[in-house]
Structure 1
Amino acid sequence: MGDASTQPEDWAAYLRRMTKRPGWSVARLAREAGVNRATIFGWMKGDGVTVASVKMIAQALGDDEGHALAAAGGAAAGGDQLDADLRIIQRRLADPSTSDAERAVIRGALRHLAELADRQEQGDNGRAAS
């Protein structure tokens, strides 16, 4: 069960909102995602986050990975302004007039990019070693 916000938000705001839902807390999220509470509090303060961690958090929350990745896009910029392309993606996902088909394409592309980043983080860029 996803919980998409109608307003674009950064990773810290996403985590705060999601852990304030009924039945949720930082402690529960940490337990269900298998991370330390201090890590989540660090993310809420602006610490960087990996794609793998974002996906793990989205899964624990039952939220759409694309939505979580869009929120984490602000964290990836190191606290600076969100990249213009990411702002467009956030606006399209938050816009009620965006069609379900367009949302599916955006989320599919984000998932694909996240999988590529995961493979790279794991040292497997999909190419045979030379």
Structure 2
Amino acid sequence: MASGKGTAQAAFARFVRRAIDNARAERGWTVTDLAAQTGVGRSTVFRWLAGDWHDYPELAKVQSFCVALGLPVAAAFRALGLPEAGSTPPRCGNDGPLEADIRAILERLADPAVSVEEKHHIRDLLRYLAQRPIHQPD
């Protein structure tokens, strides 16, 4: 059974592969050169290529990768299945406290100042909540 995450991993791996192939063809860069120029470690680049990640890649690293290679960050976000920066998410017609909470969580996950451990904890809690059975009141 294909999951959304597996699809995002494969799509992002293809995006990274094309970027590496283009950097090699246009600039003569190896993966080591690419890592040095983008500030993204070689092991991270290889994990991205293999689709070997459980949590989404750090957005700051994805941005650094794209900026150094002259690629649109929005293309990387699309490959990851994330909304594009600056896009307005669909509204439920209610801008109440729930919307503010969700917005705050999304901002923390995108904030490069928030530690990887904290982001992992947030994602674990969200997975738990998403998988909880829904109990209907009698």
Report the aligned-residue RMSD.
Answer: 3.3
**Sequence identity (%):** 31
Match of 1:122, SS state, is: coil
Equivalent of residue 114 in structure 2, options 99, 122, 127: 122
> Contact conserved, 1:26 with 1:37, CA < 8 A, in 2?
yes
Does the alignment pair 1:18 with 2:26?
no
Question: Match for 1:109: what amino acid?
Answer: S
Number of residues of Structure 1 aligned to a counterpart in Structure 2: 84
User: How far is the alpha carbon of 1:27 from its aligned partner?
Assistant: 1.9
Gaps of 5+ in 2: 1-9, 89-105, 116-138
Structure-1 separation of matches of 2:48 and 2:87: 24
CA gap of 1:41–1:107, structure 2 versus 1, over 3 A, is same
Greater relative contact order, per chain length (Cα 8 Å cut-off, separation 6+) = 1
Structure-1 separation of matches of 2:113 and 2:85: 21
Q: Counterpart in 2 of 1:29?
A: 34
> Contact conserved, 1:30 with 1:36, CA < 8 A, in 2?
yes
Gaps of 5+ in 1: 1-8, 74-85, 90-105, 124-130
CA gap of 1:119–1:35, structure 2 versus 1, over 3 A, is closer
What's the TM-score once normalised by structure 2's chain length? 0.48
What's the TM-score once normalised by structure 1's chain length? 0.51
Please tell me whether Structure 1 or Structure 2 has the larger radius of gyration of its CA atoms.
Answer: 2
Question: Match for 2:73: what amino acid?
Answer: E
Match of 2:19, SS state, is: helix
Does the alignment pair 1:50 with 2:69?
no
Does the alignment pair 1:109 with 2:98?
no
> Contact conserved, 2:59 with 2:112, CA < 8 A, in 1?
no
Question: Match for 1:108: what amino acid?
Answer: G
Does the alignment pair 1:39 with 2:40?
no
> Contact conserved, 2:40 with 2:64, CA < 8 A, in 1?
no
Q: Counterpart in 2 of 1:62?
A: 70
Runs of 4+ residues deviating >4 angstroms: none
User: How far is the alpha carbon of 1:47 from its aligned partner?
Assistant: 2.5
Equivalent of residue 79 in structure 2, options 41, 65, 71: 71
> Contact conserved, 1:33 with 1:57, CA < 8 A, in 2?
yes
CA gap of 1:69–1:121, structure 2 versus 1, over 3 A, is farther
Structure-1 separation of matches of 2:76 and 2:37: 16
Question: Match for 1:122: what amino acid?
Answer: V
